[in-house]
Amino acid sequence: MADTPLNSARVRYLLGELLRTSPAFEAFLQDFFATVARNKTSSMSRTDLENLLFSSVSLEEIAAALEAAEPERYRNAVDGTSRDASQGPEPLRATKLFAPVPVTSSPPRAKSGIAVTELNRPQIRALLTAIFCTERAMSEFIAAFCPLAYREFSSSMGRTQRETILLQHATTEDIFMALRERFPAQVQAFLLRLP
């Protein structure tokens, strides 16, 4: 971030890039800026909440908290941002993260010889559990990968219900390909554990 001066547009871009969902943003506020979180009212939009944050703490403090919360993603967002921050975030950035992986002559296979396109729903659920230790992390992935599914979530839903909604909106193959692109090491380790 040393190359690019810190300004509110750049920090707002980073907030949107690293904390895509309102629940993720609110959790970030609770973890790093509890005073700001306590001043939130039910009628505040995310933009109102961001403005409250900007008026309460310095841009440097916000940037430092983002880096502490998501160090790798923060570095990637800072290093990979070629647009001027005043232009706002790149449109549909999530589609870049989860673009289809090119098809090879034969699909990758697990140790058992199962082609990845043959993974069933229970195996996809197990893969989601292996990759995402928390519901929050899984929900952030789903928000970026399949916004239609994410919009059906409610705060009272458990992990199994959220997985069911995802599986109603996306094929097991699409979910697998998105996970493989975003988390290649974890997916490979999972495939090697399949019988």
Question: Tokens for 91?
Answer: 């449109």
pLDDT value of position 13: 83
Question: Tokens for 90?
Answer: 């790149």
Euclidean distance between CA atoms 58 and 8, whole angstroms: 10
- For residues 78 and 123, state if they share a domain: no
Contacts of 35 (CB under 8 A, 6+ apart): 56
The dihedral region occupied by 92, where left means phi > 0, alpha psi between -120 and 50, and beta the remainder, is left
- For residues 71 and 128, state if they share a domain: no
- For residues 132 and 185, state if they share a domain: yes
Give domain status of residue 106, yes or no: no
pLDDT value of position 175: 92
**Domain coverage including residue 181:** 116-193
Give domain status of residue 1, yes or no: no
**pLDDT 10s digits, 21-80:** 888 888 888 888 988 988 888 888 888 888 899 999 998 999 998 888 888 888 888 776
Give domain status of residue 181, yes or no: yes
Span of 95-104, 126-135, 153-162, 177-186 with lowest mean pLDDT = 95-104
- For residues 144 and 183, state if they share a domain: yes
Domain boundary among 35, 58, 91: 91
Euclidean distance between CA atoms 90 and 20, whole angstroms: 13
Write down the residue that tokens 């289809």 correspond to. 100
Which of 96, 66, 102, 98 has its CA nearest to residue 82? Answer: 96
| Helix 46-56, helix 22-32: angle, nearest 10 | 20
**pLDDT 10s digits, 69-108:** 888 888 888 776 434 444 444 433 333 333 333 434 344 4
Give domain status of residue 141, yes or no: yes
- For residues 83 and 156, state if they share a domain: no
Give domain status of residue 132, yes or no: yes
**pLDDT 10s digits, 112-142:** 454 555 688 888 988 999 999 888 889 989 9
Give domain status of residue 103, yes or no: no
Which of 178, 139, 143 has its CA nearest to residue 161? Answer: 139
Which of 157, 159, 163, 161 has its CA nearest to residue 179? Answer: 163
Number of structural domains the chain divides into: 2
pLDDT value of position 4: 58
- For residues 124 and 175, state if they share a domain: yes
- For residues 73 and 28, state if they share a domain: yes
* Cβ atoms 119, 127 nearer than 8 A: yes
Q: What share of the chain is helix, strand, coil (3-state, %, to 5)?
A: 65, 0, 35
- For residues 66 and 33, state if they share a domain: yes
- For residues 17 and 86, state if they share a domain: yes
